[in-house]
Amino acid sequence: MDTTLKDPLVGQVLDGRYRVDARIAVGGMATVYRAVDTRLDRVLALKVMHPALATDASFVERFIREAKSVARLAHPNVVAVFDQGAEGAYVYLAMEYVAGCTLRDVLRERGALQPRAALDILEPVLAALGAAHRAGFVHRDMKPENVLIGDDGRVKVADFGLVRAIGSVTNTTGTVLGTVSYLAPEQIEYGTSDTRADVYACGVVLYEMLTGSKPHSGDTPAQVLFQHMNEDMPAPSALVPGLAVELDELVASATARNPEVRPYDAVALLAQARAARAPLSDEQLDLVPPQALATDDAGPAAAEPAPASEDATSVIPRVLPREEPGVNHTARLTMPPPEPPEPTRPTGRRAVPRRGVLAALVAVLLALGVGAGVWYINSGQFTRVPALIGKTEKDARQELKSAGLDVKKVRYDFSETVQRGTVIKTDPGTNERIRGNGSVTVFVSRGPEIVRVPDVKGKPLAQAESELEKAGLAPGVVTKEFSEEIEQGAVISTDPASGTRRSPDSAVAVVVSRGAPIDVPDVTGESVDDATSRLTGAGFKVKIASEQINSPEEAGSVAEQSVAEGTQLARGDTVTLTVSKGPRMLDVPDVVGLKVDEATSKLESAGFEVKVDKSFPFLGDTVESQSVAADQQAPEGSTITIKTKGL
């Protein structure tokens, strides 16, 4: 049933410009319509906030922030925002219209995807998020619903409605805005999200693409949240036997419960994804997920729509960090784990029961006549922050662990004086008193705010990428070009060029040499051995096609080559040769007694060339004889001579 007929906006014109034609989708905060910009005469998507939310200043602010944020992201994989405005109760964004479907639609229809398809979708998603992260934004609501797949195959990330500037991320008091199935543990527990929260969500999306199901499920959203916080992500290969271990490792890296061991941002995860894909064979990439996941003709069970509470963007009560023994804040989710153990102190390590230890200690102190409360307040409750400035992040973590303290978070700041990767300061500071089970924020240097692109021209790609990383930059897209001067596999140039000043972690595109171009010779008609010898001598690899074909060329010779004569390839590129089975033998029709034109047409239709031999003096236009008798066979494409009557 067409529900758009009941929508009051359909058929209206907003701001005297945008004609609303049809409703496309309804989300937790807004409805999306297909509309026409009557001023520019173009189709676009109109995202209109639900009128009930338009009275909430915070939601309107978030809506406007989305427009401003995405407007700064000129990226081919980000849905563009053209305009923002309001009319009456309707606050809207005018956005790029992508004809196609969402990744959620694909998963519901097909279930698990082949690894090649999953990676082909993941990589442009990470490219889009990488651009956002490097521009200083976090998406905060990555999920299949926000991945659009156009009819032309383009992949775009949409809905930056929850986007925040990285530097403005702060703790929330008791709730977090997002989608249950894709929230990172630190979002649930602390209400904080940086680039690594997007990385976690992308890991969940990748798991879902590879298996057709979400990694965690439950009867209530609280059960799902509890699993995200307390259970490691299962390996996709547990559901898809034969899945490459590299893909298991990629999912595990992106969805590590400890954000410190995840890739720092989407650019880093993109590099990991490409590294994971590189060693995979075609067989591994094209692995067909088992059909055992299908339960009936409706499609895979895993592809059935999840409860709205799991897929919708919503305000979710978060798990507040426990501040005192015996207080189970997980109960705020309304679903504590079955038969919970004694209250524990959450750390990045295995939690240790405390109630029994404290009770025993108090008993000993009372026996010695020492006031337990005084001891606990003045001695056992506090420690001092060790000196960590100048130490590596790894060493700092170890020293805090040895002191019985936790790392609350790690922040990365620029420093002109402190070496990249080492500690600038801590909060609380060195030697300051802190509760014995407290947490410390560590500030790590990103190096100078501006770095220079090193000169890597002529160096092998691996060495060049290593030098870029040492300089504090990120290796970017690699393209290949022919070069007469630069050795094959070495760097021709970078963009930006060497010596250019850039912010740390900026991506640097690299152009790699394919070596000098080589013209491909024509080897059709030659024997396979001769053709192979000529091509390998020119510097190419040769592959023989498994199937042979009929052709005018002699049987056993080369009928076709995959790359045409004169095309330029690089040394080591492959040319595939197809071997001829010889021409097909065809039956010759009888054309004696027919007019020349009729006979010619009949022979050509049968697959032959025709030559007419007119006798002299010319007495008529009737065929007297043919060079190959009727009902005999001749090679396809060969010439049949017909002769007319004479004296």
For residues 548 and 556, what is the distance between their CA atoms, to the nearest angstrom?
Answer: 9
Pairwise CA distance, residues 299 & 330, whole Å? 36
> Which residue reads 């096609």 in tokens?
545
- How far is C-alpha 607 from the geometric centre of its chain's CA atoms? 51
* SS3 labels along 547-565: CCECCCCCCCEEEEECCCC
Spatial contact of 140 and 193, defined as CB atoms under 8 Å apart: yes
Q: State phi, psi for 477 to the nearest 5 degrees.
A: -65, 135
CA distances from 150 to 98, 100, 121, 136, 376 (A): 6, 4, 11, 27, 63
H-type alpha helices, 278-405: 282-285, 308-311, 355-367, 372-375, 393-402
**Residue in 2, 41, 141, 455 annotated catalytic:** 141
The rounded distance, in Å, linking the Cα atoms of 489 and 509 is 15
CA 483 to chain centre: 31
Q: 429-458 burial, b for 16+ CB within 10 Å, e for fewer?
A: eeeeebeebbbbebbbbbbbeebebbebee
- DSSP character for 320? P
What gap in Å lies between CA 495 and CA 387, rounded to an integer?
41
Q: Which two tokens stand for residue 176?
A: 């977090």
Rg (CA), the chain: 35
141 is catalytic: yes
Alpha-carbon gap, residue 235 to 490, rounded angstroms: 37
Residues paired with 36 in a beta bridge: 19, 43
Q: Catalytic positions, please?
A: 141
